[in-house]
Amino acid sequence: MGLLSYIVKRTLFSIPVIIVISILCFGIIQLPPGDYADAYAAVAASTGGGSVSKEYLEKIRERYGLDQPFWIQYWRWVKGFPEGDFGIAMSLQGTPVTDLLKERLPMTLFLNFSALIFALMIALPIGIYSATHQYSLLDYLLTFIAFIGIAIPGFILAVFIIAISIFWFDSSYIGRLYSNEFIGKAWNMDKTIDFLKHLPVPIITIGIAQTSNTMRIMRGNMLDVLKQPFIQTARSKGLSEPVVNWKHAARIAINPIISRIGVYLPEIIATEMLVSIVLNLNTIGPLFYDSLIAQDMYLAGTILLVISIILVLGNLIADVALALSDPRIRHELN
Amino acid sequence: MFLKQNKIQKNEEFLTLSEGQLMWRQFFKHKVAVVSSIILIFLYTVVIFANFFAPYGMLTGHKFHLYAPPQITKINFVDNEGNFHIRPFIYRQVAVRDPKTLRFVYQDNLKQKDFIYFFVRGEPYTMLGFIKSDIHFFGVKEGNFFLLGTDIIGRDLLSRIIFGGRVSLSIGLIGVIILVIIGTIVGTVSGYFGSWIDNLIQRIIEIIRTIPQVALWMALASIIPKEWPSTYVYLGIVIIFGLISWAGLAREVRGKVLAIRRSDFIYAAEISGASTSRIIAKHIIPNVLSHIIVIATLSIPIMIIGEAALSFLGLGIKPPMTSWGLLLTQLREVQTLKHYPWLISPAGFIVVSVLCFNFIGDALRDVNDPHSR
């Protein structure tokens, strides 16, 4: 079975990649000069976080081996990862990072995934329409909108949306992912409804740039495919236009998009981080930002690693999806 | 008959044009890209000669005009008595305290007309280090003229946008130069020498591309020491942008070099005894140059947005320097945006310049693609 061994091979290949990335992330953690615990104590004192107890600093030094050489420090940092121990967040009174991730990671994945699906769902039909109605008025209009969608950075769009909502709309569902009264409550019917009302703004804001991008690429792919002989054959068989366009042409034109998901993911994740910071969403982005502001490089480096791992997995899934969708690749594997 | 001859002449002229001239012709067919180029040339000219074009200094505060609204909509030709003036004017803005909210409210003093002149004398300045002058592109002789309003300490927003444009527009250019140098070298080496070098470089590129760029920019920018002066911070950010973003370009260059490497004219050069460095410099780089230009052009807007995002979040450029992203920082307070909506105008400049670079990049890509000809 070619496909299965392909998946196994791809998975095994991503392990060394993750290891190298973890070393790079640790390098970033190590970049600021000086003993981290001292720096942290100084930051805590200067920002009015009060003095940090000696025992706590000792605990940090012991946990991360701050007086040890690079590789031992690195080992202390990573050895717990496979077991789900991601260390402690020094800037958050020593909260285990695992708890923070448990709280925020599912929402992050959900938002990114929804934004990706949203982008594809909107962009593919529009791209196909644009290609089959090339140089029509609507085609020009959609191309123009797509260009603007690419040019407006997600975080600025978030600011615009907040502005518009303040002036014209009910702004109680803008920003955050659920209303104040549901913070810390378990999920129930009311909270879910409230959550769903908050959801459209972040998903559209995060997805809009990739929607525009995909739309243009899909249009280009479709135009290329429509020129191919097999489309002419399909037409000469007497198939109706929709069948030719949607079944024969779109089926092929969609493959480059699937192989590009690996390119979209980092952009969507980056936009999600920035948009979440502006809209104050309960995801990894604001946590990463806060850790950078507090100069808690251990937390920041860990989050950077987690995001990178998500990306590696995303690419893996995209490759497998392409193999599933494109029979030519499956054929090569066999 | 005449028409036919004309056509033949045109065709002959077409045949004698060089590749570069053909590309220029093709480029000028993209009207949007040409318009974008003009807009960008205008923007760059304005920011280079910022002291002249900006009506006020970057840091000059006007303490009686805190959060003054924009006057761009208040430029008149006809006064309230119905008289037409050939020279546009504005009514003088007067600050009055609202008795209820204690906030400044601005009213027009209908008795006082301030005419708008070009080349007026204003604040003295030294431009580009050696031009001493006090002539500004436009302004009023008495009173104040805030085309786009003012900020919390009464600094003219338009002037700050023009000075901030120096940072926003230059970071992309300088960052891209670093990116092009590294990307071209790495890509050419990888594609030309092949074997294990290629393999190693490709793995490194894959790994760099796996770490999300913006997150990496944020992390590295946060490491820049807080006590550094703002010019160092600016340089630091440019270097971070250049050092992180070359992977995409290197990959494309490598692909092109790999293809060219196997073509006959390279074998011919090798057989006739040309050195490796000569082959790379004379035969390979000129052939990938157009690709490099396309990718470089499309990388500039990414860096402009990146700088804006970093500065907006307080991780990038810091005062007293300013940039379009930094000017937007005040909007992170939703209340500020509600009361002083004109403060969002720097975002328009970001969007326009990004849009222009994207249009030009797309046109260049079209021109570069032999299938489109």
Nearest to A274 among B222, B309, B328 (CB): B309
Separation in Å, CA A238 to CA A231, A232, A242: 11, 10, 12
Q: Do B315 and A292 touch (CB under 8 A)?
A: yes
- State whether B211 and A308 contact (CB < 8 Å): yes
User: What residues in A contact B347, CB-CB < 8 Å?
Assistant: 156, 159-160
Give residue-wise pLDDT tens across range B122-171.
888 887 778 888 888 888 877 788 888 888 888 888 999 999 999 999 99
pLDDT tens digits for B295-330?
Answer: 899 899 989 998 999 999 888 888 888 899 999 888
Paired residues of B24 in beta bridges: none
Q: Which of B337, B354, B355 sits opposite A166 (nearest CB)?
A: B337
pLDDT for B237 beyond 50: yes
Put simply, the answer to whether B338 touches A292 (Cβ < 8 Å) is no
Helices (H), A79-227: 97-132, 137-151, 154-168, 189-198, 200-226
Task: Find the chain A residues whose C-beta atoms sit closer than 8 A to any C-beta of B.
Answer: 17, 20-21, 24-25, 28, 31-32, 147-148, 150-153, 155-156, 159-160, 162-163, 166-167, 266, 269-270, 273-274, 277-278, 288-289, 292-293, 295, 297, 300-301, 303-304, 307-308, 311-312, 315
B214: distance to nearest CA of chain A, Å? 6
pLDDT in tens, B261-283: 888 888 898 898 888 888 888 88
Minimal Cβ distance to B305: which of A153, A159, A166? A153
Q: Considering only residues B357 and A267, tell me which one the structure prediction assigns the higher pLDDT.
A: B357
Select the residue of B213, B214, B350 nearest A156 (Cβ to Cβ).
Answer: B350
Calpha distance B46→B155 (Å, rounded): 19
**Is A151 in contact with B223 (Cβ distance < 8 A)?**
no
* CB atoms B338 and A28 under 8 Å: no
Subunit contact A304:B207, Cβ cutoff 8 A = no
Cβ neighbourhood burial of A141 (10 Å; 0-12, 13-18, 19+): exposed
State the average pLDDT over residues B22-37: 85
- Is residue B180 a contact partner of residue B152, using CB atoms and an 8 Å limit? no
B214 and chain A: CB distance < 8 Å anywhere?
Answer: yes
- For residues A265 and A314, the answer to whether their CB atoms sit within 8 Å is yes
User: What sign has the CA pseudo-torsion B195, B200, B206, B212?
Assistant: negative
- Kindly report, residue by residue over A82-122, the tens digit of the pLDDT: 777 777 777 777 778 888 888 888 889 999 999 999 999 99
Q: pLDDT at residue B341 above 60?
A: yes
A192: helix, coil or strand?
A: helix
**How far apart (Å, rounded) are the C-alpha atoms in residues B226 and A53?**
25
Q: What is the pLDDT of residue A73?
A: 81
Q: What is the pLDDT of residue A28?
A: 85
Asked if A166 and B332 come within 8 Å (Cβ–Cβ), the reply is no
- Are A24 and B223 inside 8 Å of each other by CB? no
User: Which pLDDT band holds residue B373 (cuts at 50, 70, 90)?
Assistant: very low
Residue A307 makes CB contacts below 8 A (sequence gap 6+) with A269, A284, A288, B211, B212, B215
Average per-residue pLDDT in chain B?
Answer: 84
B14 min Cα distance to partner chain A (Å): 28
| Ranges of chain A whose pLDDT falls below 70 | 1, 34-52, 168-176, 180-185, 333-334
Mean pLDDT confidence for B328-348: 83
Largest Cα–Cα distance in chain A? 83
Q: Select from A21, A274, A292 the Cβ nearest to the Cβ of B219.
A: A292
Span B66-113, pLDDT tens digits:
887 887 777 778 777 777 878 888 788 787 877 787 777 787 777 777
Nearest by CB: A21 against B207, B358, B359: B207
The DSSP code for A173 is G
Q: What are phi and psi of B115, to 5 degrees?
A: -80, 145
A113 burial type by CB count under 10 A (0-12 exposed, 13-18 middle, 19+ buried) = middle
B223–A277: do the CB atoms touch at under 8 Å? Answer: no
| Residue B39: CA count within 13 A, CB half-sphere | 18
In terms of pLDDT, which residue wins out, A96 or B20? Answer: A96
Q: What percent of chain B has pLDDT over 70?
A: 95
Q: Can you give the length of chain A in residues?
A: 334
Determine the pLDDT at residue B46.
92
- Please tell me which of the candidates B309, B337, B351 has its beta carbon nearest to residue A155: B309
Query: How far A251 CA lies from chain B's nearest CA (Å)?
Result: 24
Q: Which two tokens stand for residue A35?
A: 């003993």
User: Cβ–Cβ of A156/B308 closer than 8 Å?
Assistant: yes
Tell me the nearest-neighbour CA distance from A56 into chain B, angstroms. 24
* B351 vs A: CB within 8 A: yes
The answer to whether the Cβ–Cβ distance between A166 and B334 falls below 8 Å is yes
Q: Which two tokens stand for residue A296?
A: 């808690």
Decide if B207 touches A, using CB distance below 8 A. Answer: yes
Residues of A whose CB is below 8 A from B168: none
- Sign, CA dihedral A128-B301-B184-B268, equals positive
What do you get for the CA distance between the two ends of chain A, in Å? 7
**pLDDT score recorded for residue B182:** 93
Counting Cβ atoms within 10 Å, is residue A115 exposed (0-12), middle (13-18) or buried (19+)? buried
Q: Does B259 touch chain A (CB under 8 A)?
A: no
Which residues neighbour A303 within 8 Å (Cβ) at sequence distance 6 or greater?
Answer: A284, A287, A288, A291, B215
CB contact under 8 A, B207 and A148: no
Tell whether B341 lies on the interface with A, counting CB pairs under 8 A: yes
Average pLDDT over residues B253-259: 87
Averaged over B31-51, what is the pLDDT? 91
Record: contact B215-A292, CB cut-off 8 A: no
What burial class does residue A179 get, using C-beta atoms within 10 Å of its C-beta: 0-12 exposed, 13-18 middle, 19+ buried?
Answer: middle
B331 touches chain A (CB under 8 A): yes
B177 pLDDT tier (thresholds 50, 70, 90) = very high
Say if residues A131 and A216 touch (Cβ distance below 8 Å): no
Of B211, B218, B358, the CB nearest to A21: B211
Nearest CA in chain B to A147: B355
Query: ipTM of the assembly?
Result: 0.81
State yes or no: pLDDT of B181 exceeds 90: yes
**Maximum mean pLDDT: which of A92-96, A327-331, B6-10, B355-359:** B355-359
